[in-house]
């Protein structure tokens, strides 16, 4: 892994809604886009990127309000929600000429990946995602989840700014809690990683910018799940999707995967045993292999489309329900 002080300088997108995205891009081949979670940044993918660059053109941006991307005070619903984040990533993909990408994400990045696929299916050939995923419904209001999602209520308060924003020691203690509590039993927290995240999250305004995700009705997990409704069968997400669901994630229990059929037309579900919330770091090889498999499927679909007049809808790789 590249040490924080040895990282190459990041590139910047053109502004969308006044916000630029910082990004790393490496490798060559078909497009892969990697979207990180909270509390992280594009370095969540440091261990995974080298496993892909010999076969793919890999784009790893910092989402709005994270890492080195722009951070301004703005209406969270407009700018920092799943739709706002997806709009920014889609604009970056348009700017770089990326199409038919395998888009992968977890946590915030998982939700944004699904939103991009729904908004701009021309950009996304396939998804590889870990929770945040739909299906919890009102189960999120049960006692166990409420105890785990306490931080989403704290993030609504100006007290979060007063106690944490710009305070390096407070940022370190707060971030360490989540990286320790949400990870699986075999994950060893890298102190250099915490040092890096404390550096980027301690800049005045950075912590508040990152938690604007939770200050929207569509992105706050509690409000989003408690009010979610199942789409009609025809409106389910059609993008071929690999779901990597961990069984040691305290905020997204594996049992919540029982509703995926209601939201996805074409998906496979893989249970990650012994793995916690931070899938790119805790299950790096399995995440990379899932992306490679979707790349192979995408290339196979492209070859078949050149040699067959059969409509693409009749060449679906998996059944409509897709579950394995």
pLDDT computed for residue 104 by the predictor: 98
Catalytic residue among 46, 107, 249, 266: 107
Angular region, 286: left φ>0, alpha ψ -120 to 50, beta rest: alpha
pLDDT computed for residue 39 by the predictor: 98
pLDDT computed for residue 7 by the predictor: 60
Q: How far apart are CA 63 and CA 210, in angstroms?
A: 9
Share of the chain above pLDDT 90, in %: 88
Distances (CA, A) of 168 to 4, 77, 201: 17, 27, 8
Strand order in 124-129's β-sheet?
Answer: 11-12, 22-27, 57-61, 31-35, 101-105, 124-129, 241-246, 267-272
pLDDT computed for residue 308 by the predictor: 52
Q: What is the separation of C-alpha 90 from the centre of its chain, rounded to a whole number of angstroms?
A: 14
Q: 176-182 — which CB contacts under 8 Å span 24+ positions?
A: 178/39, 178/151, 179/39, 179/278, 181/250, 182/249, 182/250, 182/251, 182/276, 182/277, 182/278
249 is catalytic: no
User: Average pLDDT, whole number, for the chain?
Assistant: 92
Q: What is the separation of C-alpha 242 from the centre of its chain, rounded to a whole number of angstroms?
A: 13
Local confidence band at 316 (pLDDT 50, 70, 90 cut-offs): very low
How is 106-164 classified by DSSP, letter by letter? -THHHHHHHHHHHH-TTTEEEEEE-SS-S--GGGGGSHHHHHHTHHHHHTTSTHHHHHT
Whether the predicted pLDDT of 146 surpasses 70? yes
Local confidence band at 298 (pLDDT 50, 70, 90 cut-offs): confident
83 is catalytic: no
Distances (CA, A) of 292 to 25, 53, 113: 17, 11, 17
pTM of the model: 0.91
pLDDT computed for residue 15 by the predictor: 97
Mean pLDDT over 9-23 rounds to: 96
Mean pLDDT over 48-72 rounds to: 97
Q: How far apart are CA 90 and CA 92, in angstroms?
A: 5
pLDDT computed for residue 300 by the predictor: 75
If one compares 5 and 154, the residue with the highest pLDDT of the two is 154
28-37, 156-165, 261-270, 311-320: segment of lowest average pLDDT: 311-320
| Cα dihedral: 303, 91, 228, 80 (round 10) | 150
Whether the predicted pLDDT of 122 surpasses 80? yes
Q: How far apart are CA 11 and CA 20, in angstroms?
A: 10
Q: 138-147 — which CB contacts under 8 Å span 24+ positions?
A: 138/225, 138/226, 139/225, 139/256, 140/221, 140/222, 140/225, 140/226, 141/222, 141/226, 145/251, 146/222
Q: What is the separation of C-alpha 55 from the centre of its chain, rounded to a whole number of angstroms?
A: 21
Local confidence band at 85 (pLDDT 50, 70, 90 cut-offs): very high
Is the link from the previous residue into 124 a cis peptide, with omega within 30 of 0?
Answer: no
pLDDT computed for residue 304 by the predictor: 54
Whether the predicted pLDDT of 201 surpasses 90? yes
If one compares 266 and 310, the residue with the highest pLDDT of the two is 266
Q: In 3-state terms, what secondary structure has residue 60?
A: strand
Q: How far apart are CA 211 and CA 261, in angstroms?
A: 30
Catalytic residue among 42, 83, 196, 277: 277
> Could you tell me how many residues make up the chain?
324
| Cα dihedral: 47, 266, 246, 271 (round 10) | -100
Q: How far apart are CA 224 and CA 101, in angstroms?
A: 27
* 8 in Cβ contact with 15 (< 8 Å): no
pLDDT computed for residue 76 by the predictor: 95
Among 148, 190, 230, 141, residue whose Cα is nearest residue 40:
190
pLDDT computed for residue 127 by the predictor: 98
Whether the predicted pLDDT of 301 surpasses 80? no
Whether the predicted pLDDT of 40 surpasses 70? yes
107 is catalytic: yes
Catalytic residue among 41, 214, 249, 261: 214
């Amino acid at each position: 892994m590249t040490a924080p002080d040895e990282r190459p300088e990041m590139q910047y997108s053109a502004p969308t809604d006044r916000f630029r995205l910082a990004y790393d891009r490496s490798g060559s081949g078909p497009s892969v886009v990697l979207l990180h979670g909270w509390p992280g940044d594009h370095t969540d993918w440091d261990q995974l990127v080298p496993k892909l660059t010999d076969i793919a053109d890999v784009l790893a941006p910092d989402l709005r309000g994270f890492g080195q991307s722009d951070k301004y005070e703005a209406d969270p619903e407009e700018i920092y929600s799943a739709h706002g984040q997806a709009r920014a990533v889609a604009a970056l993909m348009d700017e770089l000429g990326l199409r038919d990408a395998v888009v992968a994400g977890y946590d915030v990045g998982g939700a944004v990946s699904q939103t991009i696929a729904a908004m701009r299916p021309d950009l996304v050939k396939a998804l590889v995602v870990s929770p945040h995923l739909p299906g919890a419904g009102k189960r999120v209001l049960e006692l166990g989840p409420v105890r785990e999602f306490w931080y989403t209520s704290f993030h609504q308060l100006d007290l979060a700014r007063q106690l944490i924003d710009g305070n390096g020691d407070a940022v370190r203690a707060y971030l360490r809690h989540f990286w320790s509590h949400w990870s699986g039993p075999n994950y060893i927290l890298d102190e250099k990683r915490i040092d890096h995240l404390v550096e980027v999250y301690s800049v005045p305004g950075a912590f508040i910018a990152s938690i604007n995700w939770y200050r929207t009705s569509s992105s706050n997990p509690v409000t989003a799940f408690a009010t979610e409704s199942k789409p009609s069968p025809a409106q389910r997400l059609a993008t071929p999707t690999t779901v990597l669901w961990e069984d040691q994630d305290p905020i997204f229990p594996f049992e919540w995967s029982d509703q995926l059929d209601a939201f996805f037309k074409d998906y496979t579900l893989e249970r990650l045993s012994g793995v916690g919330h931070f899938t790119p770091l805790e299950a790096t090889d399995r995440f990379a292999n899932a992306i490679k498999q979707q790349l192979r499927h995408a290339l196979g679909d492209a070859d078949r489309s050149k040699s067959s007049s059969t409509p693409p809808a009749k060449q679906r790789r998996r059944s409509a329900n897709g579950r394995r």
